[in-house]
Amino acid sequence: MNLDNSFRVGIAGLGTVGRGVVRTLQKNRELLRKRVGRELAVVAVCARSRSKERGIALDAYEWEADPARLAARPDIDAFVELMGGEDGDAKRSVEAAIGNGKHVVTANKALLAVHGHALAEAAEQQSVALRFEAAVAGGIPVIKALGESLAGDRITRVVGVLNGTCNYILTRMEKNEASYPEIFSEAQSLGYLEADPTLDVGGIDAAHKLALLASLAYGTRVDFGNVDIEGIERISLRDIEQTRDMGYRVKLLCVARMSEEGLEQRTQPCLVPRYSTVGRIDGATNIVLLEGEATGQISLQGPGAGEGPTATAVVGDIVGIARGSAGTTFGQPAATLVSAPPARSAVPVPYYLRLSLRDEPGAFAEIALALAWANVSIDRIRQYAHATEAAPVIIVTHATTRARLDRALDEIRRSEVSLREPVSIRIEEI
């Protein structure tokens, strides 16, 4: 059945990424044959609609209506899952592929963030590869960098801007001086948002990716359930403008760090210095900083999504398997991955606070006392001219722990001079 020694793949899902993978395999067929040493052949495909016009020739491939049937075909070596979704068809078909001894390549961060450990164990039992470079940061080879290139080092911190949509929205708010709801509507009408937009703007998509990076970096079981997640919905144009004046930009940061207390995994809007490597990232670009004890800091930057970059990542994984590259899913045998207790960040950092205070004598003194009581000291203060009874006050604290800050915020909330819920944004040192 496979007389010519080709490496045969079945592709499930023909959306943007699936179409890109078919296109790449067709267009670069000769190049790939040289680079792999054998032909990469598409045998069969599967998608929701057979009749949809996709601008690619599919006639030479078998069509399967059920992705799990495709995954089990005796004439494929690898199953390429590009449907998405943490359960349903994606999970069922990846399990079918592994159960039938097929290698799996997927771009599905949700599936792996939730079921990655079980799938990795199953793949290793069956001695098949499960690869997911395209699931994190599109065309940026961060999975390979962490799991292979840096395998000799102890990772001290991983920092990423991993959701292009959020970064696009924040960049647009800043440049157009438009509010979050305005830019959100714009992004939605342009088709930039997921069907369920909270996946993007709520930070969930970025958190999925962070959970995968943390597992690779620290030899821990993927633990999406313990990622501290906060989206960008509460970031106002006022915060963007005022922090910019102070030399910062707002980024939805993903941070993973291991300490004696356990594994810290955070996805939250943070301030970063405007002229730092991360602070300069615009639009849909992704960036990942990998920090190692011996290596120092490496930064990888590029397009985090889109047909071309993501398809290249998928094909890179197929190439690796076809060349015979061995290796586990999360950088070491799944059975040796440990469960780390979740930990909150214990490193003191400065915070930006925006308060709305009653415009009356003693109001600011009351806030200053609340901060002093919680042992939070003030670095900078700005109060702006205002026409209303609410006086906008910006405070940047000196480095303090989250626990102290929370005590101060509770005290401020209780105060009668505070007219609105105080806004606090962590200032990340990078």
Catalytic residues, by residue number, are 209
Decide: residue 61, CB within 10 A, 0-12 exposed, 13-18 middle, 19+ buried: middle
167: its two tokens:
């970064």
> For the chain, how big is the Rg over CA atoms in Å?
24
239: its two tokens:
């915060």
Does 296 bind its own copies (CB under 8 A)? Our answer is: yes
Does 323 bind its own copies (CB under 8 A)? Our answer is: yes
Does 311 bind its own copies (CB under 8 A)? Our answer is: yes
Query: Distance between CA 45 and CA 69 in Å, rounded?
Result: 11
Q: Which helix (H) or strand (E) holds 286?
A: strand 285-292
Nearer to its own copies, 306 or 392 (CB): 306
70: phi then psi, degrees, rounded to nearest 5: -60, -45
Does 41 bind its own copies (CB under 8 A)? Our answer is: no
Q: Is 263 left (phi over 0), alpha (psi -120 to 50) or beta?
A: beta
Nearer to its own copies, 36 or 430 (CB): 36
The distance of closest approach from Cβ of residue 158 to its own copies in the complex, given in angstroms and rounded to an integer, is 14
Nearer to its own copies, 179 or 301 (CB): 301
Stretch 105-144 residues interacting with its own copies (CB under 8 A) = 133, 139-141, 144
109 three-state secondary structure: helix
Q: Among 333, 373, 398, 413, indicate the residue that binds its own copies (CB under 8 A).
A: 333
Nearer to its own copies, 150 or 250 (CB): 150
Q: Among 312, 329, 345, 397, indicate the residue that binds its own copies (CB under 8 A).
A: 312
Does 349 bind its own copies (CB under 8 A)? Our answer is: no
Does 247 bind its own copies (CB under 8 A)? Our answer is: no
Cβ distance 213 to 254 under 8 Å? yes
- Given the rule CB under 8 A, which of 27-35, 263-271, 355-363, 370-378 is the region that contacts its own copies? 27-35
Query: Distance between CA 377 and CA 393 in Å, rounded?
Result: 16
Does 277 bind its own copies (CB under 8 A)? Our answer is: yes
Nearer to its own copies, 205 or 291 (CB): 291
Query: Distance between CA 94 and CA 114 in Å, rounded?
Result: 13
Which among 26, 41, 103 has a CA at the least distance from the CA of 71?
A: 103
Q: Among 22, 36, 183, 357, indicate the residue that binds its own copies (CB under 8 A).
A: 36
User: Where along the sequence are the contacts to its own copies (CB under 8 A)?
Assistant: 20, 24-25, 28, 31-32, 34-37, 133, 139-141, 144-145, 148-154, 219, 277, 280, 292-303, 306-309, 311-316, 318-320, 323-328, 331-333, 336
